[in-house]
Amino acid sequence: MTYIPEELKVPGYEKVLYFENSSVGLRSIIAIHSTALGPACGGIRVLPYPTKEAALDDVLRLAKGMSYKSAVAGIGFGGGKSVIILDPTKKRPEIFHAFGEFVNMLNGRYISAKDMNVSSPDLLEVKKTTRHVLGIEGVPGSSGDPSPVTARGTFRALQATLEEIAGSRCFTAKKFAIQGLGHVGWDIAEMLVREGAKLWVTDINPSALRRAETQLGAKAVPGDQIYEIECDVFVPCAVGAILNSSTIPRLRCKAVVGCANNQLATDADGMRLNQRGILYAPDFAVNSGGIINIFIEYEGYDQSKALQKADAIYDTMKEIYGRAKKEQLLPVAIANQIAEERLAGRKGYPKTCSAMIK
């Protein structure tokens, strides 16, 4: 039996398709927000969405976010995302095979990668039915774990921010409060310590905290108290929505710069930070090292090129801060403006783009 995707017309999006394959139990949506700058790249998210509408809301928001992140990063990717409506405990190879067939129907206009509840073995299953999938760890030519590149980009954003708040990028004796010592947070902590910074850290994993105390000389802080540490920069590297109406009044930092996705719970929280005199570095500009790493894989992977490209996040942040001062706008508004300018500058992606996909 042949399964045909249903096109959902969504204003502002190039293509949104809903696809069901009842023989394997696949229900999924691919949203392409823009291919103005290149093929739409974004991860596959597996979640047990309560309704198709809830899945659609999420995929639309995420696809647009990917357009902005790639545009600000200055790479040749557009923005897209996909969701599979499924309880992650019920994942089966057949579902990913069928999903790969769906991806393949777009002839490379959408390139899939990993997101929430999707592992490299799942991507290997997708790869059996489409070549438009990147970021599979362990596969020859793969970009592997993006965390070192994300950490490098975040560190470069920290340098640019320190210049704003302290007039120099010298980290010696500067104070940083890091939330989350996982793949990216740990690397950032190490870089900061090497530069002579003082660290306060928290993590829900007690062994990460012990390690930071013994190996990095960091001061471990229990849970929520991290918000109240008097420091130069608060560095969120764990989860999203941590900048909200209850945490912002507690902050005693001059700036927030971290790799965590979607740090602001609402747009109003960007304004709240500003009212408290706290400089907020837009997360999607700071943490674009992850998508940069995937883009370099698309071109032919070389980690040194990925790190070099992530270094340019410093220049992007300088531009954002410079324009924010000049135009009297929040840095997050300027980052959005830069993305929109770039997206508007180039239109149309060659229809035969599959020829360009490796």
User: Could you give the residue numbers annotated as active site?
Assistant: 81
261 binds ligand NAD (CB under 6 A): yes
- 3 state SS of 168: coil
- Pick from 159, 153, 107: which is nearest to 131 by CA? 107
185 binds ligand NAD per the rule CB under 6 A: yes
Determine, following the binding rule CB under 6 A, whether residue 184 of this chain makes contact with ligand NAD: yes
Q: Which residues of 23-35 are buried (b: 16+ CB within 10 A; e: fewer)?
A: eeebbbbbbbbbb
- If binding is defined by CB under 6 A, does position 181 make contact with ligand NAD? yes
- Per CB under 6 A, 215 contacts ligand NAD: no
Q: Sheet containing 110-114: give its strands across.
A: 6-7, 15-21, 26-34, 78-85, 40-47, 110-114
**Distance (Å, whole) CA 48 – CA 42:** 19
| Position 237 contacts ligand NAD (CB under 6 A) | yes
Q: Does 183 bind ligand NAD (CB under 6 A)?
A: yes
β-strand partners of 34: 79
CB of 185 to ligand NAD, least distance (A): 5
Instruction: Tell which positions 150-169 bind ligand NAD, by CB under 6 A.
Output: 150
Q: Is 39 in the site for ligand NAD (CB under 6 A)?
A: no
Pick out residues in 188-207 that bind ligand NAD (CB under 6 A). Answer: 202-205
Please identify which residue in 35, 70, 147, 159 interacts with ligand NAD, judged by CB under 6 A: 147
Helix H or strand E encompassing 65: helix 52-73
Residue span binding ligand NAD (CB under 6 A) among the ranges 24-32, 91-99, 160-168, 232-240: 232-240
Cα torsion 146, 151, 153, 154 to 10°: value is 140
Q: What are phi and psi of 327, to 5 degrees?
A: -95, 0
Binding ligand NAD (rule: CB under 6 A), the pick from 21, 112, 179, 336 is 179
Residues in touch with ligand NAD (CB under 6 A): 146-147, 150, 179-185, 202-205, 208, 237-239, 259-261, 287, 290
